[in-house]
Structure 1
């Protein structure tokens, strides 16, 4: 079964603007690039280079051979819907969406999201259990999955799997749980 691991990422200057009070522009962009490179490396270690794609306007300094999917520009839910539709047209059997801001992600975290029953949706929650840092979809079974990124997305994605009558598995791992949204997470990560 072919899979795609898609990592949505904004343009460098638009990334992690909530960190602006704590980090200057160059520090913030360097942090984003570091986390993106870590996430891409973990994904490529599991799936290979040709199955890892970025979704957005920039590769953030990554090699030109990493595929870049176009972002239609109407927010994250529209962008991942576009990626899902492209994956369905390409005959992809599983689509894994990974947040780009997972500084402690390891290949084993990615593998856990792919090593699930063929018909199951798998989600990796944030540390609070409310946000969705990873979402693994079986295709074409989840070709009508409605994305609900935003506040309370993890429960909304679980409900969406139920609407489609697909089993939902929670993949709760530290490497998937720590995402960097505010200065407190940066401090937590730097402390180890």
Structure 2
């Protein structure tokens, strides 16, 4: 392994991306996107995240935990490993299962990243790891509304119970406090902008980028549907 994390800490860092069935994703976008469009959006966002995470020299392994065959094929194409599950009951439960595997494999830290942050960049990973250089602790990256958790670095992997869902950012902070662990907050605009609701799409399109997701939304005419002029 090479990179800043190795030279400073010489510890194993594993990334985990939980992915539920692509056809079930982004239900809150139903007012704007068809089922086929939501499916395609989920797959495209996953590709954007994988393209960055699987090429980071900071990460020893990238694990995708999913029951979706298409997502698994996509992940393997980028060099990620698959943790199979029958069905994602809750994101937290999936991450807990991945954390146990990380611990058993000797990982000292686990970085959980959702599939719906397609603007993620390599320097975002650098910032998270720099914030999480303590022997034990948590790093949280909040969503733009400070309710969700858009990345979580846990050292060790099972340092806290996971509380993904509504207001997970504060829930994770409380869990770290209850365990007596330091909890660093790392605000990153690229990771803060997830795509979960129609208003998220407005914000995303209003700040044009060069991702696969940007190109997909442009091709589908989502900006026009929302009354936003785009220059992608």
| TM-score of the two chains, using structure 1 as the length reference | 0.91
Residue of 74, 85, 105 corresponding to 1:62: 74
Contact 2:26 2:42 in 1 (8 A): yes
Contact 2:45 2:116 in 1 (8 A): yes
Query: 2:199 aligns to what SS in structure 1?
Result: helix
Residue of 158, 164, 168 corresponding to 2:173: 158
Q: Deviations over 1:90-137 (max 9, x none)?
A: 110110000110021111112222222232310000001111111000
2: CA distance, partners of 1:137 / 1:50: 15
Contact 2:75 2:81 in 1 (8 A): no
Asked whether 1:171 is paired with 2:186, we answer yes
Q: CA RMSD in A?
A: 1.8
Equivalent positions of 1:41-52 (< 5 A) are 41-47=51-57, 51-52=61-62
Asked whether 1:38 is paired with 2:48, we answer yes
Structure 2 CA distance for partners of 1:182 and 1:63, relative to 1, 3 Å: closer
Structure 2 CA distance for partners of 1:49 and 1:2, relative to 1, 3 Å: closer
Q: Deviations over 1:40-72 (max 9, x none)?
A: 122123247861111111353515342111336
Structure 1 residue 144: Cα displacement: 4.9
Residue of 25, 28, 38 corresponding to 1:28: 38
Query: 2:74 aligns to what SS in structure 1?
Result: coil
Larger Rg: 2
Structure 2 CA distance for partners of 1:77 and 1:170, relative to 1, 3 Å: same
Q: Deviations over 1:135-169 (max 9, x none)?
A: 00001xx5351111122111110111112221110
Query: 2:180 aligns to what SS in structure 1?
Result: coil
- Give unmatched runs, 5+ long, in structure 1: none
Query: 2:140 aligns to what SS in structure 1?
Result: strand
2: CA distance, partners of 1:71 / 1:161: 27
2: CA distance, partners of 1:52 / 1:109: 16
Contact 2:24 2:39 in 1 (8 A): no
Query: 1:23 aligns to what SS in structure 2?
Result: coil
Corresponding pairs, count? 190
Asked whether 1:136 is paired with 2:150, we answer no
Structure 1 residue 178: Cα displacement: 0.4
Structure 2 CA distance for partners of 1:169 and 1:137, relative to 1, 3 Å: same
Contact 1:42 1:110 in 2 (8 A): no
1:53 alignment counterpart: 63
